[in-house]
Amino acid sequence: MEQKKTAGHLAALLTIVIWGTTFISTKVLLVDFQPVEILFFRFVMGFLALTAVYPHRLKKTTRAQEITFAAAGLCGVCLYYLLENIALTYTMASNVGVIISVAPFFTAILSQMFLKQDEKLKPGFFVGFVIAMAGIILISFNGVKLHVNPVGDLLALLAAFVWACYSVFTRKISGYGYPTVLTTRRIFFYGLLFMVPALFWFDFRLDLMRFANPVYFLNILFLGLGASALCFVTWNFAVRLLGAVRTSIYIYMVPVITLAASVLILKEPVTWMTGVGMALTLAGLFLSERQ
């Protein structure tokens, strides 16, 4: 049992380390790609990679299970990323970073409402949540004046709620007993299916010649194979072993990983405010995790 929990924690940590650095690749690609194009290409690549790695069919699923797969694809692949990207066009990235980090709180509430499991919430979980959010606010704003944009901030909050829904759906899917690679691939399939109408709305361009640029090609490989194919499998694997609430707590670490990547790769300075923010965020994560 302890070995399984350790494997779950390592899978969640690996996922967050990769997701926390995706902003660099996304920033590079945004020079010539629209957000929806990056999103579509990375998940198509992720779907193809999972098919190549495990070329088996998901058989004997029920209608109710397929509905759950579709709901997970709609929430975790399509809506979450679209809402987050649209929110970034209305409000500051720091606002979005802080608001998205509310997802574990939503996950905890939804899990108590819809999942029959032993992840009982204790007061320490909420204390840890408050401490972690204080740290995330310090990291994200770092002395920058707070700008509130109702539309953008509300979209970011909706994205956090949608991710919480995805976590609950994947927890339910983990109980079906199918291989994680197959269930993740099925989720990708539905996510891409729901994404198709958005391609027309956002004026999608196929133009694969853009990937002749090796910089663009390597960055979309990282997003498609690493941040999508690998990370969604490891995240869903962690949810299966740890539960939706405990796994979602690792989302607190995304701003910390992003900050660390900015310092190591982009050579951005560390201020006392970001240092305190990192310490508070990690303290909140450990407190919530223990509870």
pTM for the structure as a whole = 0.85
With respect to residue 91, please indicate whether it lies within any of the assigned structural domains: yes
8 Å CB contact between 29 and 216? yes
The distance in angstroms from the start CA to the end CA of the chain is 18
List, for the chain, all residue ranges whose pLDDT scores fall below the cut of 70: 1, 93-94, 116-120, 140-149, 266-268, 270, 289-291
Q: Is residue 262 part of a domain?
A: no
With respect to residue 261, please indicate whether it lies within any of the assigned structural domains: no
Count Cα neighbours of 143 within 13 Å in the Cβ-side half-sphere: 7
pLDDT score at 143: 58
**Of 228, 191, 189, nearest to 19 (Cα)?**
228
Residue 229 belongs to domain spanning: 2-130+145-251
pLDDT digits (tens, 9 = 90+) for 141-171: 665 655 666 787 888 889 889 999 999 999 9
Q: Which residue type is seen at 97?
A: G
d(CA 106, CA 241): 20
Establish if 156 belongs to a structural domain: yes
Domain for residue 153, yes or no?
yes
Residue 154: what pLDDT?
86
* pLDDT in the model for residue 245: 82
Domain for residue 151, yes or no? yes
Counting the structural domains of the chain, the total is 1
Instruction: Count other Cβ atoms within 10 Å, centred on residue 215.
Output: 12
Residue 4, judged by CB atoms within 10 A of its CB (0-12, 13-18, 19+), counts as: exposed
Question: Is 135 inside a domain boundary?
Answer: no
Helix (H, G, I), strand (E, B) or coil at 61: coil
Confirm whether 256 is domain-assigned. no
| 3-state SS assignment for residue 198 | helix
